[in-house]
Amino acid sequence: MKVLMVEDDPFHASYLHDALSDALPEVTEIVHAEDGAEGETEAREHGVTAIVMDLQMERKNGIEAARTIWAERPQTRVLFWSNYADEAYLRGIAQIVPEDSAYGYILKTASPDRLKLALRAVLVEGQIMVDRELHRHQKRAAAPRNRLDDSEFAVLLDLALGLQDKQIAERRHMSLRTVQNRLLSLYDKLGVELEGDVVVNKRVRALNRALITRAINIETLEAAQRDLEHWLAASRR
């Protein structure tokens, strides 16, 4: 069994290599890639279908690399591990994982035993495993009534990319009124409020709040920009 680990930090790469060797005695080869772009190449060339993927890396992040790998080999099992418990990462993974594929998400702060359990559960047994600590982070970050649904999140991304209401409506196949209702809901859930008598730009304030609460992050915006460029190119044809 071959395993690919995609990790740009030498210390974490060494730690992960040792954990893989201890947890999975059936592994015959561990391939190392230092970023998402290299990970895509190594997965393709080695035919690896078991991957441990960091999320925040130069050149290409883990979600974008996983999207490419899953598009080519949907049966690939991917365990994401990260320093971050951002809602944006969890949502991004949920949007790209193929149906019935095995995946997991564990924080780098997890205990060695917890990491080894996740490695075996996802890469060998084909289970879906999201570390319970991530759920604790999510509960602390926002009450259920404040969590954005998928349509609200889509509108938030388009707002962050600078699209106006009519453009969002066209892109998301919504009526203009629906977009405006989603914006009002966003403002409420993100806590966009007037600062005393100061008039604020609610769209900018919503983006500010989304970044502070980690509902979105830089990697999410980079991926959204690429999706927008594809949509714009298709609409011109």
Q: What is the mean pLDDT of each run of 10 residues along the chain (237 residues)?
A: 94 95 93 94 94 90 92 94 81 83 90 93 91 58 65 92 94 94 91 70 90 82 86 86
> What domains can be seen in the chain, in order of their start residue?
2-141 (3.40.50.2300), 144-236 (1.10.10.10)
pLDDT at residue 140, as a whole number:
47
pLDDT at residue 194, as a whole number:
62
For residue 210, CA distances in Å to 3, 77, 132, 192 come to: 36, 30, 23, 10
Q: Report whether 92 contacts 131 (CB < 8 A).
A: no
pTM: 0.71
Q: Report whether 39 contacts 89 (CB < 8 A).
A: no
pLDDT digits (tens, 9 = 90+) for 16-53: 999 999 999 999 999 999 999 999 999 999 999 999 99
CA 99, distance to chain mean position in Å, is: 16
Nearest one of 167, 156, 107, 157 to 132, comparing CA atoms: 107
